[in-house]
Amino acid sequence: MDNNQKQAASGKAAADSRKRKEAPSSAVTGFKNLHQQGRESRPPARPQKRVKFQDARNIRSQPPDAALDGEGKLDLQKFLNAREFEIKALETSMQKCKTANATRVFQQVPREMRRRTASHNAKRVPKRLRDRAKREMLEDNTPTVEARKRRPRTTRARIRAENAKRLEKLAAKKKKRALEGENKDKPGKTTIHTRAPRPKIRRDTLNEPPKSKSKFNKRQVNKTWLPTHLWHAKRATMTEPTKPLWRFAIPMTPTQKSYRPTHRASGQKGTIFWDTSYMSTARIYGTARCIELVLKALGLTQASIWGNRGRKWRAGTRTWSGMVSRQQGNSRRDVGPATILWNPSPTDETAATESNTTEEKKTQRQVLIRTHPSCFLELFDELVKLAKLQTPQVHVEDLRFEVGSIELTGPGSTETLLAVLQPYHTEERHGQVFSSLIGVTNPASLPKDAVLGFSVKDPRLSYPPKRVDTTSKVSDPALLDTLTQWPVEEQVKPYGLFDRHVRFKASNLPPQKSINRRKGANIPGQEIQVTAADPPIPVIVFASRPAAGGQAQGTWTLMAPWKCILPIWYSIVHYPLSTGGNPRLGGLNEQRQIAFEQGTAWFPGDFLGTNAGVVWEMEQRTQRKKAWDRRPKGKRIEWASLDLGAGRKGEIGDGLACDFEHLFGLPKVPSPSSSSGDRSTLDVDPNAMDVDPREEAEAASKLGKPHKNTLPSLATVEQMKKTEFNALVSSADLASRPPPRSIISVNIRFVTRGVANACARIYRLPSRPSATTTVPSSEAEVPATDPVAAGVGSLPADLRDQWLQKLPSQRNGSKSFKTKTHAAPHMPRDVDHGTRKQLMAKSLLSGDPLPYPRPSAANQTDIGGGAHPLCPGEEDLIGFVTAGAYSLGEGKGTAVGAISAEKAFDTLKESGGIKEGRLCIVRNAGESVGWLARWELV
Amino acid sequence: MVRLKDRYLLVNIVYTDLPPGQKGSVPDLLLYNQPTIGELRPQTILKGIRSQVNALFGDCGSGSVERSLQVKYLSTATSTFILRISRAHYRLVWAALTFMDRLPVKDGRPCIFRVVRVSGTIRKVEEEAIRRAKLLVLAAKDEMAGKASSSDALNALFRGGKDSARNLALVNDDHDDAEINEGEISDG
């Protein structure tokens, strides 16, 4: 080979340079790795590859003599042989071409499959491709490194390696000794079986996180892993190791691109699921009356739920979901969303008949509260405080690491759950009802807040999960009957999940090894029979509807003992959906995305009126500030030099924050988010300091919440409920107004174009100037685009009308408006040179020259093909966007935000109409152009 | 990037006369499918085609064919070869092959160059070659069993396509350069 000759010529120089692809000369055979040596002595890859391809494409053929007999005559047998040879040659050629293609094996595995280091490690590709991968790696001279055999580079690694070596020796010695000992006293060997320790659950105090395996101890010092952590860590971006979220390592988003697939899986086809074991659960137990008092103190004061309509909820066959709140001085402050579920009492049938009797009130009952971890500590403290006030006392148990949960949404979610959860006892009513749900494609089609509590078999017994036959059951009248009747009330028993003994029993599932052994003993494909060793797993499943209502998909929530989550998880992951594919993994971002697409607020990000929301917002501010700081100076937004038109300079408030402090004139904490270029926002209105900070805020800070010592002034902002606000607006009482520092959550849809980002500013439509303040008419005629007029520092008087022109229904009006504006005169096309000259001269001589320099800011003439109205002034700022993007569901920009309740109230009252009052202008932070939008309460 | 688009032509060389050294009668099957002499090299085929294209289409034609014409496979024992030519010009080559009436070697024997398959991939051409070879094998076995007639030999040669009527129709309206049809042409 010419290659070898070249090598010989280059001689020792090549060996000295030690290029990886050059073969080592005999002098450099210090390597012990024979495999490596063998690989390196092969010729370089590229010429070899070319030879390979040439060889593969070459089709063998025979000389003509093969078809003739010995004397050169035609012969039938030879003729036959020649044809057979040709057939064989062509077939081998086709085969060779197929195998010698230019792609490597790891490029052929499906998109969903992980391929980390698959190009360097044959074990990363599927088994059937492994041999080919090995061969290709050998042919391509791919460097392979076995982590085990790599020479340690850092000091730390070296120490670890030495340690490992020593430990290995020690272990070997120990093993040897154990073997000797075993041989000595084999007959008299006794083993002591101890009962597995039951986890401690103390009353009225927080629960300890579960003890992790010692191997993983160090990684869970300041956080807890979800039961599925090891699975997730390989497939999703987790929270940063040093910055856990709510003391959990939570998957943020799958590693694979998933924005559009998530949208599809959540609404059209498939299913998306989350391990929501981080959601916190608490159990309250005591007499029914005392529990009722505690719940009422949490803000469950609606008469309906304690009356006849809430009977099913109190019986334990429905859940209640909503915001819980706590008393703070004279007002109530929202804590966060919670789901509350009663445990059915064993004697429920008698109690149901004589409801509201003293008998019922005295019975011992239990309630499960499931809430978000960001507000759990706050809620738990409140619960303990309330529980201690009751006589007889009510007790609270923290079930955070006892009960885990999985959430599923999407058309395939019911099907998936049906395949995975197989009722343990066939006679259980709830189990029967659940099994009859085949054909349901939307959990929201179940009765509102329906609950099913039953026990299921270990899903590993029927692993891999079989596809549920949904075709025969669709439009089944029996299913419709079930959905309308919902026959779960009769013979309802207490849910096993409330019982710690049942939970503990279920936590001791047989090990995977024994399952495998049992499976091996079976005929392939046969399910493993349930034995006494397989405990029933108590589960509670409930369906929830999205807050937005309508056609949107509901969500299944499956609650099970913490330790049973993993086996259930594996079965869900591998369920083959009837519409194809498997359920999709979701992270926290996907949860927020789905909430956003459904137009609902997501906790805690969109709830600035709660402490958890404030903490989230502060965290976001620091993150944005960090990202902003990282950018080079020329490429980041200089907030101070933002030109809003009409002589206004600088961003309103902090551009990196939903700056409600600025809106409400609250004292600004020197947080890291306050940008240096934003001087105007920092020197707050001096009067703002006089506004006495709420005593509740002080009280809250005194209480010393363990997760946040001092809450920023933003925490004095209150969240107002939709119902309260609507009642205020519709009431004729002029005196009643929303409290001064309250916000309401809104869902914003852009009227024509525009996409909002987080922190975008929301303005109301500017009011028409009253008669006394009307600007002189001469100025009023000056169009908005004229910077000379705008530069004097006043907004045009007809700004409201300009914005209203932008409504698509009033297109006709906008045309007449456009004609007044000074668009740059365009040279008509296809004119000859003479005319061009004439036109040019005319434009120069006319008394209406183009402004120079061209207006750069705010409303450039080319936005939207005509003049764009200026942004309203700061007095019209009403709120901020907390989440915004282009919505795939709506096909246009939407956003979720919060606006000042007071200003919204005023706007609705003043403009007189809901139509105009709900119009707003949304402008992204750092941009000068706003877009018309419409807000709706959420 | 622009993809180079090619056509692959499967060509059979059909003889109608006996080879010089042969005496007596031979079965029709052997007569038509004789081996070709070893002097026929890929280069000589190319040369022959080029000169024929030049004669038929002039310098322009031979120039356009020149660059992309290539012999991918030549089996003299079975008198079969596969040509590759750019998609735009395969008709020139086909026409040239039709007009060639003897082997392009010194004192070449009279023969017919029959294009039996045109395809966009060499794979399909190979499959067709295999199919035809199999048909010939079956015919030869029949011949050996002694239950063959001359029409059978012609059948194996010309009715290689499953339904020749359809193929003929395809050939007829092939002139609009519809790419889709080209893959199905056989028995041209």
Q: Any chain B CB within 8 A of the CB of A69?
A: no
Tokens representing A863 are 């936005």
pLDDT in tens, chain B (188 residues): 678 899 999 999 998 888 777 777 778 888 888 888 889 999 999 999 999 999 999 999 999 998 899 999 999 999 999 999 999 999 999 999 999 998 998 888 899 999 999 999 999 999 999 999 998 888 888 888 877 666 666 776 766 655 444 444 444 444 444 444 444 444 43
Can you tell me the ipTM of this complex?
Answer: 0.85
Q: Any chain B CB within 8 A of the CB of A76?
A: yes
d(CA A45, nearest CA chain B) in Å: 26
- Tell me which chain B residues have a C-beta less than 8 angstroms from the C-beta of A82: 35, 77-78
d(CA A50, nearest CA chain B) in Å: 17
Helix (H) or strand (E) holding A555: strand A555-561
- Sheet of A364-371, strands arranged across: A320-328, A331-342, A364-371, A280-287, A395-398
d(CA B27, nearest CA chain A) in Å: 9
C-alpha distances out from residue A6 to A45, A139, A141, A251, Å: 15, 20, 19, 54
Residue A652 in contact with residue A762, Cβ under 8 Å?
no
Tokens representing A270 are 């498939």
Q: Which amino acid is at A512?
A: Q
How crowded is the C-beta side of A703, counted as CA atoms within 13 Å?
17
Of A73, A86, A89, the CB nearest to B22: A73
Q: Consecutive sets of 10 residues in chain A, 938 residues long: mean pLDDT of each? A: 44 42 40 42 64 82 84 83 93 84 78 75 87 85 77 89 93 93 64 80 88 87 93 92 92 92 91 95 93 92 87 91 89 91 75 53 88 94 92 91 94 94 91 89 90 94 89 73 85 89 92 93 87 93 83 92 95 92 93 92 91 92 94 92 86 90 81 40 34 39 44 85 88 82 92 91 85 44 42 72 79 42 58 82 68 50 62 90 92 93 87 78 91 90
d(CA B94, nearest CA chain A) in Å: 23
Between CA B82 and CA B128 the distance in angstroms is 11
pLDDT at B19: 76
CB spacing of A64 vs B38 below 8 angstroms: yes
Between CA A59 and CA A65 the distance in angstroms is 18
- Tell me which chain A residues have a C-beta less than 8 angstroms from the C-beta of B22: 73-74
CB spacing of A74 vs B19 below 8 angstroms: yes
Between CA A343 and CA A538 the distance in angstroms is 13
Between CA A644 and CA A558 the distance in angstroms is 51
- Tell me which chain A residues have a C-beta less than 8 angstroms from the C-beta of B26: 74
How crowded is the C-beta side of A143, counted as CA atoms within 13 Å?
7
Between CA A491 and CA A429 the distance in angstroms is 7
Q: Any chain A CB within 8 A of the CB of B181?
A: no
**DSSP strand pairing (B6-15 vs B80-86):** antiparallel
Q: Any chain B CB within 8 A of the CB of A93?
A: yes
Q: Any chain A CB within 8 A of the CB of B178?
A: no
Between CA B50 and CA B53 the distance in angstroms is 5
Alpha helix ranges (H) inside A421-511: 429-435, 477-485, 500-507
Chains A, B: CB pairs < 8 Å: 94
Of A71, A75, A83, the CB nearest to B137: A83
DSSP collapsed to 3 states, chain B: CCCCCEEEEEEEEEECCCCCCCCCCCCHHHHHCCCCCCCCCHHHHHHHHHHHHHHHHHHHHHHHHHCCCEEEEEECCCCEEEEEEEHHHHHHHHHHHHHCCECCCCCCCEEEEEEEEEECCHHHHHHHHHHHHHHHHHHHHHHHHCCCCHHHHHHHHHCCCCCHHHHHHHHHHHHHCCHHHHCCCECC
**Matching residue, tokens 């497939």:** A235
pLDDT at A58: 86
- Tell me which chain A residues have a C-beta less than 8 angstroms from the C-beta of B83: none
Name the nearest CA neighbour of A374 among A717, A614, A659, A585.
A614
CB spacing of B78 vs A76 below 8 angstroms: no
Between CA A420 and CA A430 the distance in angstroms is 16
Name the nearest CA neighbour of A99 among A61, A57, A42.
A57
d(CA A85, nearest CA chain B) in Å: 10
Residues 101..160 of B with a Cβ closer than 8 Å to A: which? Answer: 123, 126-127, 129-130, 133-134, 136-137, 140-141, 143-144
Which pTM value belongs to this model? 0.67
Q: Looking at residue A641, what DSSP letter applies?
A: G
CB spacing of B126 vs A93 below 8 angstroms: yes
CB spacing of A82 vs B77 below 8 angstroms: yes
CA nearest B74 in A: which residue?
A61
Q: Looking at residue A107, what DSSP letter applies?
A: G
Name the nearest CA neighbour of A700 among A566, A571, A610.
A610
Between CA A288 and CA A306 the distance in angstroms is 12
d(CA B140, nearest CA chain A) in Å: 7
Q: Which amino acid is at A577?
A: L
